[in-house]
Chains A and B, each alone.
Chain A
């Protein structure tokens, strides 16, 4: 019988690998927009990891952390884009 939590740990390992690759782009990126995109990708991956942590530790309040973090990330990307575009 396969344990379901083992498969979840494998999924979290793959997500950590994805975060590592996005961090390489965040360090290398030639322009500002590259870094913002890499940071956006890091944010979405960490949203998923936060929700997995909420499911594994059986606490519903961590899911609210994920929702608020997603909201703040959206606002941050919009503000950076407006600032680049000389609109702020």
Chain B
């Protein structure tokens, strides 16, 4: 039983390291879009690994509570909502005309706007 607790604590350290990498990426990336990408992906991975670690850390009290159910609910929730919010945010940044990095090569949303596949949102 003690070994499982130590495994859970080590998984917490791994998740915390991933969250730290996400924060360093937020500081060092040159562009809004790169920052959104780094911050959301790495912090999603770190949060999921950390929640699994918390679940393993409380392994001995699964019988007298709903720890496992709540951990699974929280993991599924993070996994569903975090990419959606980052996508909506990046699209809003694009239509707000935040400038891209000067070394950007590919801009597929501009191609779609030029071909009238996607329309810019109108001011209501």
Contacts and interface: CB of A to CB of B under 8 A. Distances in A.
B88 A22 contact: no
Contact of B46 (A19, A20, A48, A60): A48
B72 to A, nearest CB: 11
B43 to A, nearest CB: 5
B13 A11 contact: yes
B23 A19 contact: yes
A87 B16 contact: no
Interface string B1-33: 010011011101101110110111011000010
Given A12-B16, A33-B32, A60-B65, A81 B92 contact: yes
Given A18-B16, A33-B89, A37-B89, A48 B50 contact: yes
B113 interface: no
B105 to A, nearest CB: 21
A21 B47 contact: no
The DSSP consensus for interface residues of chain A is: helix
Contacts of B26: 21-22, 25, 37-38, 41
Nearest to B99: A31
B74 A70 contact: yes
Interface residues of A, number: 53
B16 to A, nearest CB: 4
B54 A52 contact: yes
B111 interface: no
Interface string A42-67: 00110110011011001010011011
B39 A41 contact: yes
A19 B67 CA distance: 26
A36 B124 contact: no
